[in-house]
Amino acid sequence: MWKFWLCFGAVFLSCSGYTWPLPDQLSAAQQRELKELQQDVETEIEELCCQNELKRCCVEKKKSLAQRNMEEWEGLIDSLKELKSTPDEEEAIKWLEEYNEELRQRNVRNAEANWAQATNITDENAAKVVEVTLEVTKWSLKKMEEAKKFDTSGFSDDVKRQFKMITTSGSLSDEDKQRQLAEIGTELEKIYSTGTVCQADGTCLKLDPDLEGIIAKSRDYDRLTWAWLSWRDAVGPPMKDKYAQWVALLNEGAQENGFADKGVLWRGAYEMPDGKLEEMVDAVWEQVKPLYTQLHAYVRRKLSEKYGADKVSTTGHIPAHLFGNMWAQQWNNIYDIVVPFPDQPEIDVSDTMVEQGYDALRMFKTAEEFFKSIGLRPMPQTFWDKSMLTRPDDREVVCHGSAWDFYHLPGDTDVRIKMCTKVNQEDLYVIHHEMGHIEYFLTYEDQKTLYRGGANPGFHEAVGDTIALSVNTPGHLKKIGLLQNVGHNQDFEINELLKMALAKVAFLPFGLMIDKWRWRVFSGDITPDNYNTGWWNLRMKYQGIKPPVERTNKDFDPGAKYHIPSGTPYIRYFFSFIAQFQFHQALCKEAGHDGPLHKCDIYESKAAGTKLKNMLSMGESRPWPEAMKAITGQEKLDPSAILKYFEPLEKWLREQNKDEKLGWD
């Protein structure tokens, strides 16, 4: 509309013969556009006047119109200002400074409310989360409309980036629907976090540590079936209808803001044209799939030997409850079943940790020491004062480990971890992962509030796991006193590489299919009537697994995985499981490591820490390829590092599987 008024004014003023003023009220970009418009109009004005019988305007009334043109031009400018406010960049920067500070303060309140609910699940705390969420949504919508009044076309890249982040939204405009969305989201998480399963004797079990413990340790096929099925039956059906309503509201909000569906909005976090993110991860998957297929065939044969060919075929899908993990996402808990060389010493320091008197606090201090050794920051005192490191006995909590930034200003830092820590090697690994998030928070805390985030969501997940690749090496465990003897023969190394592959390689198709399912749910390709069928079709296709019992569309097995009811996008984990090996390879090179990648430990390397810190400090201020280049020297997600890491294992697996039928279709 404003361009129409400019065109009208251009014709009128050219007809009058007036010299065009360029008012300061217009942005530099609009002034340039106005000049271009003037040139276009003036070359055709005579013809235009004649065609519209305006020659008299151009000849006889030229002098009188010239006397009036300033008044008319000023009126035009006033009209333009009403149609589209266009302050200059200096005013925009001032607006952004105020926005970032208010956003920070709101993030503090939002984090406090969510922390209270996560560490003490009550109806009262849930209601506070809803209220805070609604306040943030209402404020964000208001500020988004204000931001849209700025013409950013002539602004600097940094200012443009901030405005794009502010005006990219999937929020609903209707306040009643906002409340409904927040309430459903809170209820979904509550169903998951408070879910229990009761046995025939009346004792009731929680997911963590009870049911997860059964899945991890039991080798009784029927007992495993019971635990797997009971958890899904407890939490899935109560969620299904609510989840469908939640999806519909999320999509409505996305569509209000110009997106086809919520999945498009989620993928936008990677700043790639829609379709390119899925294209990228599919291409990466095709490169790592041969390694996964070899691992799958080997594990399938071992499970068939353990449970019998009548339960596990050596040519098809593997029952999903036999992997030692409730979701079959990582398989390291069945290492005892699949270990290649049982006579070799096992690197599981869990018992040693117990013998040495480790508790949750000591485990966290051990992780902190690693980050300090490479020059990153120690945890602030508030971390130790306010974190929840173990499960409390007096209240319901969300046990799923997570790291929290409370967005305080530098010098008043407040960062925390929430975790129901158990004394074992796996949780020591998880602690390093979560503390990696904290180090990211601490390193980019000087950035604007909008930029206090990872280069993309996958970067945040990769940082702690990169450190853990060093932590889990036998050499490092020996350095910190948890391991006495370190094997050096090939059999020992194959054992250790297989154990790592059970955690890292086994995860990749799971990390890929979760959001493939959700993207298709959001797009409508998978409807509520087919939620469960769509879920299992993808799990069978990518993971080569199947449910141990018949499942129907009355079930809602996706809801048994935390990230579905919590609404946490998941492709970040696939990205991170590839990127962490890229990061590890780059940091090992910086540390001067000479030898196989799987033996590298960057502990005490300040050079590696500096390289990592430089990337972390960027936060979300630049597109992720630039952050990737800062640490690895390349701008793309590249699976060559993970393939190099597991190269000795893949060669060994190919030999073991030479008589096996690979795949599961």
Tokens 């596990």 correspond to 312
18 is in an annotated binding site: no
Q: Are 197 and 204 in contact (CB under 8 A)?
A: yes
434 is catalytic: yes
- Got the DSSP string for 222-259? HHHHHHHHHHHHHHHHHHHHHHHHHHHHHHHHHHHTT-
The one-character DSSP state at 660 is S
Going from the C-alpha of 364 to that of each of 368, 440, 480, 595, 609, the distances in angstroms are: 6, 16, 14, 30, 19
Give CA 455 to chain center in angstroms: 10
The letter for the amino acid at 238 is P
433 is in an annotated binding site: yes
461 is in an annotated binding site: yes
| Burial class of residue 162 in the structure, from the number of CB atoms within 10 Å of its CB (0-12 exposed, 13-18 middle, 19+ buried) | buried
- Measured CA to CA, the distance from residue 574 to residue 514 in angstroms comes to 10
The one-character DSSP state at 388 is B
- Measured CA to CA, the distance from residue 506 to residue 467 in angstroms comes to 20
| Burial class of residue 489 in the structure, from the number of CB atoms within 10 Å of its CB (0-12 exposed, 13-18 middle, 19+ buried) | exposed
Enumerate long-range contacts of 494-498, CB under 8 Å, 24 or more apart: 494/340, 494/341, 494/648, 494/649, 494/652, 495/339, 495/340, 495/341, 495/344, 495/346, 495/347, 496/347, 496/598, 497/598, 497/646, 497/648, 497/649, 498/335, 498/338, 498/339, 498/340, 498/649
Q: Are 639 and 279 in contact (CB under 8 A)?
A: no
Give CA 266 to chain center in angstroms: 9
563 is catalytic: yes
Q: Angle at CA 173, nearest 5°, toward 182 and 528?
A: 55
270 is in an annotated binding site: yes
Handedness of CA 172, 177, 181, 186 (dihedral sign): positive
| Burial class of residue 594 in the structure, from the number of CB atoms within 10 Å of its CB (0-12 exposed, 13-18 middle, 19+ buried) | exposed
Q: Are 250 and 518 in contact (CB under 8 A)?
A: no
- Measured CA to CA, the distance from residue 591 to residue 336 in angstroms comes to 34
How many CB atoms are closer than 10 A to CB 110? Answer: 18
Give CA 659 to chain center in angstroms: 40
Q: Are 379 and 438 in contact (CB under 8 A)?
A: yes
296, 317, 563, 598: the catalytic one is: 563
- What 3 state SS string does 27-63 have? CHHHHHHHHHHHHHHHHHHHHHHHHCCCHHHHHCCHH
- Measured CA to CA, the distance from residue 386 to residue 412 in angstroms comes to 14
Q: Angle at CA 301, nearest 5°, toward 295 and 306?
A: 125
368, 434, 445, 650: the catalytic one is: 434
Nearby residues of 125 by Cβ (< 8 Å), 6 or more positions away:
113, 116, 117
**Count of H helices and E strands in the chain?**
27, 6
- Residue 209: cis peptide before it, omega within 30 degrees of 0: yes
112 is in an annotated binding site: no
Question: Phi/psi at 126 (nearest 5 deg)?
Answer: -65, -40
Q: Name 388's bridge partners.
A: 418
Annotated binding site for Zn(2+): 433, 437, 461
Active-site residue set: 434, 563
Annotated binding site for chloride: 270, 572
Annotated binding site: 270, 433, 437, 461, 572
